[in-house]
Amino acid sequence: MKQYNVAIAGVTGAVGQVFLQILEQRKFPIKNLLPLASKRSAGKKITYLGEEIEIKELQENSFKHTDIALFSAGGGISKKFAPHAVHSGAVVVDNSSAFRMEENIPLVVPEVNGEQIGNHQGIIANPNCSTIIMAVAIKPIYDLSKIKRIVVSTYQAVSGAGAKAIVELEQQVRDLICKNKKNIQKEVFPVQIAFNVLPHIDVFLDNGYTKEEMKMVGETQKIFADPAIRVTATTVRVPVFTSHSESINIQTEQKISVQEARKALSEGKGLVVKDDFQNAVYPTALDSSGKDDVFIGRIREDNSHDRGLNMWVVGDQLRKGAALNAIQIAESLIV
């Protein structure tokens, strides 16, 4: 089997660490692994397949002889360094928002629009985590009938804001419970996240929505190549370490029964249906944490609309919502 030189830009971050785990688990055919990070992390070591590998500083000339470069170091870093990786001959799979809405750059969820991977010109964009999870969940419904409108509310884990957010939640919980502190330290989030719910992810825009919410609008339309889909989103941060949850309401062109929807979803790629309300069986964030699939439950007709469906969706945003989706794209590149 042919092997490939793979670089990871942002290897020390939350997604970068999951990149390493999934590459190992899926036995990606790596010849040489090049872990890259900022200057302050250079010289440290990561472990891959039992071997310690030194982290190198991310620089413009880092990508010589690289076949695939996985980026998860933030939009500014991607904008600066991804073109240099492409110029060196690598294909970039970028997990930031830097290139997602650029017209000539594919925005890919393999289960939904994997055919777009071949249209790349050196860069393939990984969608936003909450968009990926929703797109996988609604694809089987969209195949039954075009979707006219989506109303989605997300309940997003702190790890979606990075490794520092995980530390902040844990420290706040310890301070509140173990030390009975009243002055809680806040750095990542504008208000206390422990035992709280924040209706605020990313910056607010002039229209009153946040950037995270508008990402779900534009990215969904691009992934499905359907600008007519109307999407409205409310994105919420909850004090959970891993896995995003989403309440999704869909309006379709043709009526779809619960039985039809459940059958289609049960047969969908990357999906697990866990839906038996009579026995309180439904997916939770803990069910999906560390798992590759997207889980669906609470499938029911919308009692306010004759062509509406409601469902509850959960997925590990560090895996399917980020690292796994990017690696699936990389796997398609080498087939």
What residues are annotated to the active site? Answer: 129, 244
Give the single-character DSSP code of 320. Answer: I
- Non-local CB neighbours of 45 within 8 Å, separated by 6+ positions: 52, 53, 54, 55
Contact call for residues 100 and 219 (beta carbons, < 8 A): yes
Contact call for residues 325 and 270 (beta carbons, < 8 A): no
CA–CA separation, 200 and 50 (whole Å):
40
Structure tokens at 277: 């309300």
Contact call for residues 40 and 102 (beta carbons, < 8 A): no
Beta bridge partners of 4: 30
CA–CA separation, 82 and 64 (whole Å):
13
Beta bridge partners of 48: 51
* Best CA proximity match to 13, nearest among 244, 167, 186, 156: 167
Give the single-character DSSP code of 323. Answer: I
CA–CA separation, 216 and 211 (whole Å):
9
- Report how far apart, in Å, the C-alpha atoms of 89 and of each of 35, 84, 121, 317, 326 are: 17, 9, 11, 29, 18
CA–CA separation, 172 and 194 (whole Å):
6
Question: How close are the terminal C-alpha atoms of the chain, in Å?
Answer: 11
Q: How many CB atoms lie within 10 A of CB 56?
A: 16
